[in-house]
Amino acid sequence: MRIFRQTENIGLIRNCLFCIQEAQGDFVWTVSDDDVVLEGTLDWVLSEISGDADDQLAFIYLNGSMSTPDGIIFRQCAYPFRGDPESRPGSELFEKCLNVNEDWPLLITSNIYKIMIARQAIKSWSGIKNNLAFPLFLSGYAAAHGAMTLRSEPSLLYMACYSRPNWLTIANRDLPEIYRKLAEYGYTTSLIRRQILKRLSFLSFILKFPTDFLSALPTYWFALRLPKH
């Protein structure tokens, strides 16, 4: 076991990226300290990794349950899939997941990446260091560059927070920016366009974060010029 402690607070994004860069195995799993990993999950993950005979697996995605802060489960599964679906490349399956629940990829504990591909993703886009929706980019990039499998049985218990800091900025600037980047990796234009433009009702965002709104305008203009189908 190797333990690192930053000399100063470098923030969530840079800490996660630091761990990916320092990891020494074939896969990396970043686990948040407030998520519960359910019994049997690690055994399943290790089995999937060891069964990757052709070395094509790039992304493992974990389903989960959501609870209130006092522990009451209000959603049994983030995704209703049965069996453990997979696709090669994983972009097809990842698009299906995004159409069901867009927020779950933002949970860092739900995503396990092949290290080589995660590092390629980080290297390919310097803007990742300033985007709080960065797990979505890492996941989408990995799914587009290899096979993806999803564990349908809930693997995590996530405590939902009703007051998420900076959520207006994440929803109206960071997420659209990620989708614009994912358009470079073969995702369907209809998905990219829909996921960006569904945020156009953002009066609160404009009033509270006018500078961030202006910086996001090129991304919305990009989406408006995409074909609908």
Domain boundaries, the chain: 11-159, 167-224
**Contact between 20 and 30 (Cβ < 8 Å):** yes
* CA nearest neighbour of 108 among 5, 31, 199: 31
For residues 129 and 132, what is the distance between their CA atoms, to the nearest angstrom? 8
Tokens of 94: 């990842």
User: Is the pLDDT score of 70 beyond 90?
Assistant: no
For residues 80 and 83, what is the distance between their CA atoms, to the nearest angstrom? 10
What CATH number belongs to 11-159? 3.90.550.10
Q: Which amino acid is at 110?
A: S
pTM of the model: 0.92
User: Is the pLDDT score of 110 beyond 60?
Assistant: yes
15 band by pLDDT with thresholds 50, 70 and 90? very high
Q: Tell me what the mean pLDDT of segment 3-8 comes to.
A: 94
- Torsion angle in degrees (nearest 10) through CA of 13, 14, 15, 19: 110
Mean confidence (pLDDT) of the chain: 92
Write the CA distances from 14 to 83, 171, 192, integer angstroms. 35, 20, 26
Residues above pLDDT 90, as percent of the chain? 73
* CA nearest neighbour of 182 among 213, 212, 145: 145
Unique residue bearing structure tokens 């803007």: 127
Q: Which three-class secondary structure string do you get for 22-33?
A: HCCCCEEECCCC
Q: Which amino acid is at 135?
A: P
What are residue 37's DSSP bridge partners? 156
Residue 163's pLDDT is 53
Write the CA distances from 117 to 23, 125, 169, integer angstroms. 13, 13, 27
User: Is the pLDDT score of 94 beyond 70?
Assistant: yes
User: Is the pLDDT score of 54 beyond 90?
Assistant: no
Q: What is the pLDDT of residues 158-217, one digit of tens each?
A: 987 655 557 888 989 999 999 999 999 999 999 999 999 887 666 778 888 888 889 999
User: Is the pLDDT score of 86 beyond 60?
Assistant: yes
Q: Which amino acid is at 82?
A: R
For the chain, give the number of residues: 229
Question: Which has the minimum average pLDDT: 41-50, 57-66, 68-77, 170-179?
Answer: 68-77
For residues 152 and 154, what is the distance between their CA atoms, to the nearest angstrom? 6
**Helix then strand then coil, % of the chain, to nearest 5:** 50, 15, 35
The alpha carbons of the chain give a radius of gyration, in whole angstroms, of 17
User: Is the pLDDT score of 141 beyond 60?
Assistant: yes
